[in-house]
Amino acid sequence: MDEVTIGMIGAGTVGGGVYRALKRNGGLLASRAGIRVRLKKIAVKAFDEPRKVAVPESLMTLDWREVVEDPEVQIVVELAGGTTTARQMVLTALRLGKPVVTANKALLSAHGEELFAAAGEHGTNLYYEASVGGGIPIIKSLRDGLIGNRIDCIYGIVNGTCNYILWRMKEEGAEFHQALKEAQRLGYAEAEPSLDVDGHDSLHKIGILASLAYGFWVRPKEICREGIRSVSLADVRFADQLGYTIKLLGVAKRLAGRGVPGEPKTIQAAVYPALVPNHHVLANVADSFNAILVCGDVVGDTLFYGRGAGQDPTASAVLSDIADAARDLKHESPNRVPPFVPHERNGRVAPAAECVSRYYVRLEVLDRPGVLGRVATILGNLGIGISSVIQPGDCPGKTVPLILMMHKAPFAAMAEALEAVGRLEAVKRKPVMYRVELCD
């Protein structure tokens, strides 16, 4: 049986999982791929740092160059994280003609174009299934399985921490800070949780998926980003009364252009909390699970569901990429499936102001005659229609919530309207607004 030698950078959560999975299922991988994988060396930050999986010290080195530049190492597996030193590691390996497997979504989001170009220039490849969705095979599905489809839209619950927090808020009536504290206790959220709860992690992931789906590289600065810190238990409960569940969604939609030569393609790429109808499958994704809905013009709706993070799911995706890289080396076809094909060079990402959606709005207003009329007048003057209204309770002269469900409108018009509404004397707090998705 043929053999390939790999070197790994990082023995933390994911790296430890890959080491353990290779020990447990290396024989299975070899029998299926027809190639035996030998792990020669692992670069780590320190020999004595705490690890969930014990790694023999004889395998470890403190110098990543001993892994990348070792002539026996044929495949480099980068699991160190970060975007600075990791970029240097990956570029060094690619320039040596060595394929790289990575789970580093932040690195790809920031430097993907450069890394893919380097892989092509030096006749090698970059494999990154584990960068989005943990063990969910979404990268290969978009790149290979759905290659004959124009992608109409992608809706993804791609951050397990946020999904767990919002799920706890709805199912158990927890406030945001309580649900976050529990997520931290369980290890779903970091002590400093901004990467997750402020939407940065989801932004990296939906940017990668949008780029693959629409054929031009979507840069992080082009993606609208909102996190879930603003989501209150009151909004979770009002949404439920209206038949909706609040989820943090990564969204990529084709707004114009169907890939006809010369016709510009415009897409939306965004991350934001949104109301999803309770009957929709994405509304029922519980706990820390991920789910990604992809709609193609030929296949229709497809759903990818599973653990989107964690040691074993991510290790599973890394092993899949190692097997692909090994087979490509064996058959001397390193660019059999290029990491990214820029087939739509004149595409653009629409600014948030241009994007159209339905909306949920919560106002805190004085309970007195004429307030709703003044609010409706402001909205109507900007061409925005109200589809339904609820006002819980009856407290004349006191402050009460006023819940409005809006028809479709451009985001810019809604923002302008709510700024004017917020200046009304009867409106006592800044208006709250969330988009409503998947209700067509």
Give me the active site residues, please.
205
In eight-state DSSP terms, residue 243 is T
H helix count then E strand count, the chain: 13, 17
Task: Tell me which residue of 147, 117, 302, 303 sits closest to 213, measured CA to CA.
Answer: 147
For 427, residues 6+ apart whose C-beta sits below 8 A from its C-beta are: 363, 364, 365, 371, 375, 421
Taking alpha carbons only, the member of 390, 377, 389 closest to residue 417 is 377
Q: Name the token pair of 44.
A: 């780590």
The rounded radius of gyration (Å) of the Cα atoms in the chain is 24
Q: Phi then psi for 113, rounded to 5 degrees? A: -55, -45
Tokens of 134: 């943990």
Give buried/exposed letters for 65-76 (b at 16+ CB in 10 A, else e).
eebbebeebbbb
Tokens standing for residue 135: 């063990």
Bridge partners of 176, per DSSP, are none
DSSP state string for 308-370: -SSHHHHHHHHHHHHHHHHHHHHTT-TTSS-S-----TT-EEPPGGG-EEEEEEEEEEE-STT
**Which one-letter DSSP state was computed for residue 50?**
-
Q: Which helix (H) or strand (E) holds 274?
A: strand 266-277
- d(C-alpha 225, C-alpha 282), whole Å: 20
Residues 409-418 as b/e (b if ≥16 CB within 10 A, e otherwise) read bbbeebebbb
Tell me if 64 sits within 8 A of 78, measured CB to CB.
no
Using CA atoms, how far residue 436 sits from 16, 407, 411, in Å, is 40, 10, 12
370: left (phi over 0), alpha (psi -120 to 50) or beta: left
CA torsion, points 398, 403, 409, 415, in degrees to nearest 10?
A: 40
Give the whole-angstrom CA distance, residue 14 versus residue 323.
Answer: 17
